[in-house]
Structure 1
Amino acid sequence: MTAGSANAGTDTSTGRTPTTAVPAPVWRVAVVLASGSVMTGLDTSLVNVGIEIIGRELDASLTAMQWINSGYLLALAATLPTCGWLSRRIGTGRLWLWALAGFTLTSALCALARDADTLIAARVLQGLTGGLLIPTGMAILGQVAGSGRMGRVIAVSSVPAILAPAFGPIIGALLIDNLSWRWMFLVNVPIGIVGLLVALRVVPRGASGRAARPDLPALFLVALGLPLLTYAITAAMDGRGLFVAAVLAPLVVALVALVLFVHRSLRAAEPLMDLRLARDPVYAAAVSTVFFSSAALFGGLIVMPLYFQLGMDKDIIDTGLLLMAFSLGATVTFPVAGRLTDRYGGGIVTVVGLVVTVASTVPMAVLPSDPNVVLVEALQVVRGVGLALAGSPVVSAALARVRSHQMPDASAQVNILSRVGGAVGSAICVVVLADALADARSEVEVAAAFRGTFWWLTGMAAVALALATWLTRAQRGARRTAAT
């Protein structure tokens, strides 16, 4: 890693970086890689809509059906830490192609399942492949784009991830109403096949065969720790609370395993995942910001549907339509965020985005029990703008600090922190809201429950803002060091 890698060509008198055009071949790679983002982004939101119907048709309990999602998430968490080693072993591009092929095949297996056990098993396999698609795709983008163009490329490629939560439930409802729940999985098959055929021509394979044997004890620790952490957070969100054995026991085991994994990885000559990247202050500040900004993002994504349904008495269709306001603001802003990142650096853009996020979340925490829907929608558009300015720029800031061969490890770490941060933010919001709603007996008390939850969201965004400020200062220090 070089201290000035993220800021090559920066004008130190202005802090601006001259931008260069993104070549057409890079955009072609980005568009193809988006097929993986579309598939994984839509998958969970589609399945959430159909859990109850799937259980009814397969004659399975709702508890068993929850493992359709839980099994997927646990498998995905177990796969993420191996991304760097596998990329070094077989090449980042080859790994992405295999992951896309596997996700496509396992999607078809899910659609063909005849009982709950088979479907859950297929979802676990789908999670194993899905866990590799996003970090390897991000690593390829970082390698082909280069630091001076990374902001624009990653920002545009992030659009599918932000659109999925808005359009997924509506698409899922339409598929169930007009076809069958099986089409929630079958829809991935043509996307995957077309993506594979095009990717074989445009996606670079990458170097292979340079990885040592995997550190098996480290692999055991992280493959134990991350899924258990995911399970504990999910169990807490299911309403069990934090201080119960079913949550606390796996949480403690997970934290111990992850601490031991970090200790071993920092001491190993050939670590499974290179955690020493965090010794760079810019990278450390960026990935820390990713954690808390993801908590604010995903916490909001889980609270807002409940707010529309319970706080404003909207049905599921109206809720889906109202949720589009956030995605609209984010989608329009992503390309602008990318250009600003390449020109001014990810730190300052992230700071601006989080200021906007805080400013648009605070009003939600003081709204009356009968809020104006136009005002709520306007605030959601602005919040989408803020989180788009905070999302891809901070990821670009992290990836721009590493060399090409370190990109798979860096992208895996960014994705792990993003997913864990999002899960923690979601769990906090669900637990806080559920506790408050349990005692609510009137519309005024329901509104008060949501206001308290929005204050928690504001706090998460505020912590992310403080870390983004650290990131901005670290980037300035790196520029001064590079100039001397």
Structure 2
Amino acid sequence: MTSPSAGAAPSAPEQSASDRLDPALIRLGVILVIGAIASMLDTTIVSVAIDGLSREFDTDISTIQWASTGYLLALSAVIPLTGWAVERFGARTMWLFSLTAFLGGSALCGAAWSVGSLIAFRVLQGIGGGLITPVMQTILVRAAGPQRIGRIMSIVAVPGHLSPIVGPLVGGAIIDSVSWRWIFYVNVPICAIALLLARRGVPRDTRSDTAARLDVLGLALLSPGLAAVIYGLSQTSRPAGFGAAPVVVSLSLGAVLLAAFAAHALRTRITPVLDLRLFRHRSFTAATLLMFLGGMSVFGAMLLMPLYYQQVRDKSALDAGLLLAPQSIGTIIALTYVGKLTDRIGSRPIVLTGVAIGVAGTLAYTQVQPDTSVWLLSASLLVWGIGIAASMVPIMSAAYQGLEPAAIPRATSAISVIQRLGGSFGTAVLSVILQRQIIRHSDGGQPDPDSLTKAFDTTFWWVLGFTALTLVPALLLPQVKKREPARPTPEPAAAER
């Protein structure tokens, strides 16, 4: 009787056990999420405070919106560095650095004395915040392995999707009862706690002494190219629209720089700052397109919804935050099932279903009136939140399918920058559309509730269009997640015979 060899494949029970989320992995996820929650909260807190900040600094929405757009641009600029930095300095070191940078940026934003200084400090804050999410994802994807990505991403996404509930509530309470400065100061204690936990709970990793050389030329082309495009889009609110000189110059310069980067990235012998060669993988390409379009609709809607409640319904910032809560409730409900289903049947059917649900949830907002039932809008937000969970979470699992472990840091950087770029496009384009629609429907005079409502109706149709467009790349996702059956390895004795 021959005993099983050490090289034999693991049994079914052993394979099942290896697929479970062990306590150590869950504990690591919790520690990382505590650190990420500050940057997650920051976006939603500031979105609710935009109207109040506009009054505080006596400026219009298009100008103060740069406090959000500039932050997102900084995220997009720094995220490509994540893959190289993780390989060069180690994931744990970069995690501690990103938390420290975000803490410092938040403190400076709270001390801002003008709209210009606020925007500048938001860019600095975005540099720290831009590293947090991709570094967290890199650590977790490495720790979880391919068979557990769906479930670990669902668990990690729960606090992230709680932020649209907690963020607007915190932001609304601060704006209504305390100084606006505390919407930034609130990040300081969270980051301090996260730093203490990370020093104890995030394991040290081995940094590479032979890490790829930094693609300085690629960075010099990509970052200003993205900034030029976003700036050009934000300036289309001028009377001449897309024909205005600043718009034409900025968009043309951005297009030239991005085209030059693409040519450089495909020819360079070193690893480019944004590795376009990853797009040879069909699943990765589909996932990144989904991230871009999803970022446009999600970040854009996060701008529009609180503004609608504040400007049309005359709600306070706190009330606007409460009215956004159904979105996150729907998302959290869906996350209970999305991760398990993704690991079992793959991403494609779940994402397609989620897009359809998201479109249905947006329809009510394209028909809003000054007296539309809050219950109807809340129910629609609940449905929209379910669609977000089913659309966005499985994409992370699909993006890593077929990639080598060594490509994970670079893939995470590319996914994150494209999602954030989509968010920048969404907030810039939709804020411009909204402002132009307000001018159009108010005939250049003081807008009333009816003209504001028509402006929001039209702008929400654009959100619905961005959401519906995600159906195209969703069809490119793998239909079923294939698992190769275990193949027993011949025993040494049998092999010798």
TM range (shorter): 0.7 to 0.9
Q: What residue in structure 2 maps to residue 259 of structure 1? A: 259
Contact 1:75 1:127 in 2 (8 A): yes
CA pair 238-328 structure 1, distance change in 2 beyond 3 A: farther
Contact 2:172 2:321 in 1 (8 A): no
User: 1:286-297, aligned counterparts within 5 Å?
Assistant: 286-297=287-298
Q: What residue in structure 2 maps to residue 453 of structure 1? A: 459
Identity value in percent:
36
Contact 1:287 1:395 in 2 (8 A): no
Quick one: distance in 1 between partners of 2:30 and 2:388? 22
Whether 1:215 and 2:215 are equivalent positions in the alignment is yes
CA pair 329-409 structure 1, distance change in 2 beyond 3 A: same
Quick one: distance in 2 between partners of 1:176 and 1:456? 29
Contact 1:32 1:198 in 2 (8 A): yes
Q: What residue in structure 1 maps to residue 303 of structure 2? A: 302
Q: Cα distance, 1:383 vs. partner? A: 0.8
Contact 1:74 1:231 in 2 (8 A): no
Q: What residue in structure 1 maps to residue 384 of structure 2? A: 383
Contact 2:44 2:164 in 1 (8 A): yes
Contact 1:354 1:390 in 2 (8 A): yes
Quick one: distance in 1 between partners of 2:396 and 2:424? 18
User: 1:393-472, aligned counterparts within 5 Å?
Assistant: 393-440=394-441, 446-472=452-478
Quick one: distance in 2 between partners of 1:167 and 1:82? 30
Q: What residue in structure 1 maps to residue 3 of structure 2? A: none
Q: Cα distance, 1:368 vs. partner? A: 5.9
Quick one: distance in 2 between partners of 1:311 and 1:114? 29
Specify the SS of the correspondent of 1:22: coil
Quick one: distance in 2 between partners of 1:292 and 1:426? 12
* TM-score normalised by structure 1 residue count: 0.85
Q: What residue in structure 1 maps to residue 29 of structure 2? A: 30
* Higher mean C-alpha deviation, range 150-159 or range 301-310: 301-310
Q: Cα distance, 1:302 vs. partner? A: 2.1
Whether 1:204 and 2:210 are equivalent positions in the alignment is no
Quick one: distance in 1 between partners of 2:41 and 2:240? 28
Specify the SS of the correspondent of 1:470: coil
Contact 2:44 2:302 in 1 (8 A): no
Q: Cα distance, 1:227 vs. partner? A: 2.5
User: 1:46-445, aligned counterparts within 5 Å?
Assistant: 46-48=45-47, 68-69=67-68, 71-112=70-111, 121-208=120-207, 209-236=209-236, 241-272=241-272, 273-366=274-367, 370-440=371-441
CA pair 358-46 structure 1, distance change in 2 beyond 3 A: closer
Q: Cα distance, 1:444 vs. partner? A: 5.8
Q: Cα distance, 1:88 vs. partner? A: 1.2
Larger radius of gyration: 2
User: Amino acid of the residue matched to residue 267 of structure 2?
Assistant: R
Q: Cα distance, 1:329 vs. partner? A: 0.9
User: Amino acid of the residue matched to residue 371 of structure 1?
Assistant: T
User: Amino acid of the residue matched to residue 126 of structure 2?
Assistant: G
Contact 2:35 2:195 in 1 (8 A): no
User: Amino acid of the residue matched to residue 264 of structure 1?
Assistant: H
Q: Cα distance, 1:393 vs. partner? A: 0.9
Quick one: distance in 1 between partners of 2:426 and 2:161? 17
Specify the SS of the correspondent of 2:146: coil
CA pair 255-335 structure 1, distance change in 2 beyond 3 A: farther
Specify the SS of the correspondent of 1:471: coil
Quick one: distance in 2 between partners of 1:24 and 1:345? 25
Q: Cα distance, 1:365 vs. partner? A: 3.0
Quick one: distance in 2 between partners of 1:289 and 1:52? 30
Contact 1:172 1:184 in 2 (8 A): yes
Deviation per residue, 1:362-381 (Å, 9 max, x gap): 34434666422212211110
Unpaired runs of 5+ residues, structure 1, are 1-8, 12-16
Contact 2:172 2:317 in 1 (8 A): no
User: Amino acid of the residue matched to residue 243 of structure 1?
Assistant: G
Q: Cα distance, 1:55 vs. partner? A: 8.8
Q: Cα distance, 1:95 vs. partner? A: 1.0
Specify the SS of the correspondent of 2:80: helix
Q: Cα distance, 1:232 vs. partner? A: 3.1
User: Amino acid of the residue matched to residue 204 of structure 1?
Assistant: P
Specify the SS of the correspondent of 2:179: coil
Contact 2:226 2:254 in 1 (8 A): yes
Q: Cα distance, 1:443 vs. partner? A: 5.8
Unpaired runs of 5+ residues, structure 2, are 1-9, 443-447, 488-497
Contact 1:150 1:400 in 2 (8 A): no
Q: What residue in structure 1 maps to residue 494 of structure 2? A: none
Contact 2:42 2:184 in 1 (8 A): yes
Q: Cα distance, 1:184 vs. partner? A: 2.6
Deviation per residue, 1:399-430 (Å, 9 max, x gap): 34423221121111111111122232333433
Deviation per residue, 1:183-237 (Å, 9 max, x gap): 3333222211221121122223333223222122112111221232333344447
CA pair 54-325 structure 1, distance change in 2 beyond 3 A: closer
Q: Cα distance, 1:358 vs. partner? A: 1.6
Contact 2:76 2:418 in 1 (8 A): no
Quick one: distance in 2 between partners of 1:147 and 1:355? 27
Q: Cα distance, 1:280 vs. partner? A: 0.8
CA pair 75-151 structure 1, distance change in 2 beyond 3 A: same
Q: Cα distance, 1:278 vs. partner? A: 0.9
* TM-score normalised by structure 2 residue count: 0.83
Quick one: distance in 1 between partners of 2:463 and 2:414? 23
Q: Cα distance, 1:103 vs. partner? A: 1.5
Q: Cα distance, 1:150 vs. partner? A: 0.9
What CA RMSD, in Å, does the superposition of the two structures yield over aligned residues? 3.4
Q: What residue in structure 2 maps to residue 14 of structure 1? A: none
CA pair 389-268 structure 1, distance change in 2 beyond 3 A: same
Contact 1:19 1:149 in 2 (8 A): no
Quick one: distance in 2 between partners of 1:435 and 1:116? 22
Name the count of aligned residue pairs: 466
Specify the SS of the correspondent of 1:270: coil
Quick one: distance in 2 between partners of 1:25 and 1:19? 13
Q: What residue in structure 2 maps to residue 4 of structure 1? A: none
Deviation per residue, 1:224-267 (Å, 9 max, x gap): 21232333344447998443233332222122212221221122
Quick one: distance in 2 between partners of 1:239 and 1:130? 35
CA pair 286-45 structure 1, distance change in 2 beyond 3 A: closer
